[in-house]
Structure 1
Amino acid sequence: MRISTVTMFEQSTASMNRQQSDLMKVSQQIASGRRVVNPSDDPQAASRAVGVDQAKAVTEQYSDSRVSARNSLSQTESILNSISDAITSAKTLLVQASSDTLTDANRESIASELKGVYETMLGQANATDGSGRYLFGGYKDSEPPFAKDGNENVQYKGDSNTREQRVDASRLMSVADNGETIFKSVASGAGYVAEADNANTGNVTFRGPQINDVKDATDFRITFTSDSEFSIETYDNDSNSWTPGPTGQTYSGGDSPQQIAVGGISITLEGTPAAGDEILVAKSGGDVRGADLFRTMEEAIRVLENPADNATKKADQRNTLNTAMRDLDNSLDNVLTVRASAGARLNELDVIDSVGSNRMLNYDQTLSDLVDLDYAEAISEYSLRQIGMQAAQKAFVDIKGLSLFNYM
């Protein structure tokens, strides 16, 4: 079979181009450090690598989200620490103010200190994060969650939601508690608190209440119909209404303390009442008597600023301080509980970070197995392709020199 000179030239050129292409491919692999430079090099590995890259990108986004969550929780934990210190300081001042040896001027000085603690609490309650959002307003984080009304009483303006952030594929974490949870709630184990109506005109004071039987404990209020008689009402949680109880009960207090028991709770009263005076005994943070740290502080400041120049005001001062101290104890327990929860979430972020780091290592290893280059194998391949290229070039030179005219 006759082979034309053109055919020999074309085959030699094609062989050189093929060898050059193979050599170039290996050169690109060595230069890039990747076995799969183009998807066509290994379609299956390239496809799997795209999926792993996407999973890495998502994991990195969750890592950034955890940084933001950690900053928010760290700031929350720091503020709650300041709040707990402020409550402790307030309780110390109220214990000091309860001493019978103090004068009205002394109590007024304590009230001034208590105001400073109160303003500190209010400032911390309206704290913002690094981006200018209010930490404790729930999703209403563009304005201060706590503000004073026309009567200078602090009101909560935020909502009852808790801001959440996804810190991992299967974990949606609360990154900031709302103001209701911190300043207008109590821990689940909070007990009963007694409170005298500040409109009372008698001088009855109380001690307690004492819980005798938790199962029979119920909210109740004592209303005096005269200085020697009272009636009792209990609160029905099912109907959310007061149920009349015994009336015409004899009160023989005065200078002799009298204990009154209702259900599983007892309270000790002393002093002389006036018709219409009321004493409420209710579970702290319940339907009858909601918790409010700022209201507690406001009431304490009120009685300390006003001189106790008669028996009625002295009774109001004593009752209010007793109630305030119990409320502060409940508030402190609640703040410490919320703070412990924030600390637990910070610890959880550390665990999720560790898991995420291990996951990223696994992704990197998988990507390396799929697309990274084995340099020893590649260099050997490069040498082989280089020899092949040189052989093709030498063959082309020899074939080009073949001609019958050389022998004529």
Structure 2
Amino acid sequence: MRVSTTMMFERSVASMNRQQSEFLDVGEQIASGKRVVRPSDDPQAAAQALGVSQSLATNSQQSDSRVTARNALSQEESVLDSVTDALTRAKELMVQAGNGTLSDADRESMASELEGVYEALLGQANSTDGNGNYLFAGYQDSAAPFVKNADGAVEYSGSESVRQQKVDSSRLMEIGDTGSDVFQSVASGAGYLAEAGADNAGTLTFTGPSIADTSDAGYGDSYTISFDADAAPTTYTVTNTDGDEVVSAAEYQSGQAIEFGGVRLTLEGEPETGDTIEVGKAADMDPDIFTTFENMLSALQNPLDSDEDKAAFANTLSTASRQMDNALDNVLTVRASVGSRLSELDTLDTVGSDREIAYTQTQSDLIDLDYNTAVSDYVLRQVGLQAAQKAFVELQGTSLFEMM
């Protein structure tokens, strides 16, 4: 093979350039702290690192979502705490209202305080977050969920669905509760409720209802007790929602406890013909806390001039007290649900932190630099480059003509 001076120079320059390139590559790795500076350095590791990087970004996004969800639920829990206090105070006022020694003026004064609690509760039901969105309006969070109609009654105008937030790869969490679920519902364990007819004219009062037999075939149904005082003695008839008579023209006695459909109810006083009592599951008897307040306010503000008025007041108080208990139980159930979701977010944060550490470690194993190895390579490449440069300098002083 012909060996020319040009060839020797070209090979020396190529060797020097190669050594310099390798030296600079190691220097770039040390400067960046990465073994894989560009995909061509290790295509397989670069591709795997890209997948891990996407997983890290997703995990970070889910962490941000949990912050948003926690803020919303924490605000709701704070409002529900105030709602609990309001309902507790309302219950205390109702217990006081049952004192037979109170005068009309005393009850009127009590109504004033109860009205203040009512307005405060309405304000809490229309609470907003830091961005002006209504907490209990569901998806329709740009408008107040509870508004008073022309008759002064409070109506719910929000959505029946709540916003959801993806707080983990496989967890879609509700970050609120609708106003109807909080203020117009009862807990699943709520029992029976009794309510006297609005047009009752006698002195009939009731105590209860209580559960007598849950295995009764009619348990869970709703019933109407109707009275006939034209006959002697007075009789009562119990019909279910289908209009079937469960108890037919039974003799009524004041102070007796009657049973039907697995329910027991104690009756006192003297009913008039046409007087009725509705008995049914609390969930089926308008469990609206604002309606309960309105009924109780009306009862407190009306003077008790007759035995009939006193009986109507006692029945309203009995029904309202049970409804208030059910409302309080329901709010506590919702609060427990909110607390459970907040606790779950804490758990997901812990899992997310562990996942981030694992992803970061995997990414580091794939592309990060081993400085000990890199420094050793750096020194080795530097020696190689210096040797190539020295060889080139030596080559410059030689010529094939000197060997002839």
Shorter-normalised TM-score: what interval?
Answer: over 0.9
Q: Does the 8 A contact of 2:186 with 2:329 survive in 1?
A: yes
Amino acid at match of 1:258: Q
Provide closer, same or farther for how the CA distance between residues 407 and 163 of structure 1 changes in structure 2, counting only shifts above 3 A: closer
Corresponding residue to 1:292 among 288, 292, 299: 288
Q: Does the 8 A contact of 2:5 with 2:399 survive in 1?
A: no
Structure 2 residue aligned with 1:214 = 214
Q: Distance in 1 between matches of 2:356 and 2:5?
A: 60
* Greater shift in the superposed pair: 58-67 or 275-284: 275-284
Q: Does the 8 A contact of 2:237 with 2:249 survive in 1?
A: no
What do you get for the CA RMSD once the two structures are aligned?
1.8
Q: Does the 8 A contact of 2:5 with 2:400 survive in 1?
A: no
Structure 1 residue aligned with 2:95 = 95
Q: Distance in 1 between matches of 2:184 and 2:235?
A: 32
Q: Does the 8 A contact of 1:222 with 1:230 survive in 2?
A: no
**1:48 Cα offset (Å):** 0.2
Provide closer, same or farther for how the CA distance between residues 103 and 352 of structure 1 changes in structure 2, counting only shifts above 3 A: same
Corresponding residue to 2:261 among 256, 260, 263: 263
The alignment partner of 2:85 has SS state of helix
Deviation string 1:146-204 (CA, Å, 9 cap, x unpaired) is 11111111111122223221110011111111112111111111111111122222221
Corresponding residue to 2:392 among 379, 391, 396: 396
**1:259 Cα offset (Å):** 2.7
Q: Matches of residues 194-343 of structure 1 in structure 2 within 5 Å?
A: 194-216=194-216, 217=219, 218-226=221-229, 229-236=234-241, 241-253=242-254, 257-286=255-284, 289-343=285-339
Structure 2 residue aligned with 1:117 = 117
Structure 1 residue aligned with 2:71 = 71
Amino acid at match of 1:222: I
Corresponding residue to 1:362 among 335, 358, 361: 358
Structure 1 residue aligned with 2:44 = 44
Deviation string 1:209-228 (CA, Å, 9 cap, x unpaired) is 22211222342111223365
The alignment partner of 1:82 has SS state of helix
Corresponding residue to 1:381 among 371, 377, 381: 377
Amino acid at match of 2:256: Q
* Greater shift in the superposed pair: 166-175 or 132-141: 132-141
Provide closer, same or farther for how the CA distance between residues 274 and 399 of structure 1 changes in structure 2, counting only shifts above 3 A: same
Amino acid at match of 2:366: L
Q: Matches of residues 41-190 of structure 1 in structure 2 within 5 Å?
A: 41-190=41-190
Q: Distance in 1 between matches of 2:183 and 2:257?
A: 33
Which structure 2 residue ranges, 5 or more long, are not aligned?
none
Percent same amino acid among aligned pairs? 55
Deviation string 1:43-64 (CA, Å, 9 cap, x unpaired) is 0000000000000000000000
The alignment partner of 2:174 has SS state of strand
Q: What's the TM-score, normalizing by structure 2?
A: 0.94
Amino acid at match of 1:275: T
* Greater shift in the superposed pair: 241-250 or 272-281: 241-250
**1:317 Cα offset (Å):** 1.0
Q: Does the 8 A contact of 2:59 with 2:352 survive in 1?
A: yes
Amino acid at match of 2:34: R
**1:405 Cα offset (Å):** 6.9
1:24 matches 2:29: no
Deviation string 1:55-102 (CA, Å, 9 cap, x unpaired) is 000000000000011111111111111111111100000010110111
**1:381 Cα offset (Å):** 0.5
Amino acid at match of 2:314: R
Amino acid at match of 1:72: A
Q: Distance in 1 between matches of 2:228 and 2:150?
A: 34
**1:21 Cα offset (Å):** 0.7
Q: Does the 8 A contact of 2:225 with 2:239 survive in 1?
A: no
Q: Does the 8 A contact of 1:135 with 1:141 survive in 2?
A: yes
Q: Distance in 1 between matches of 2:281 and 2:73?
A: 30
Provide closer, same or farther for how the CA distance between residues 51 and 407 of structure 1 changes in structure 2, counting only shifts above 3 A: closer
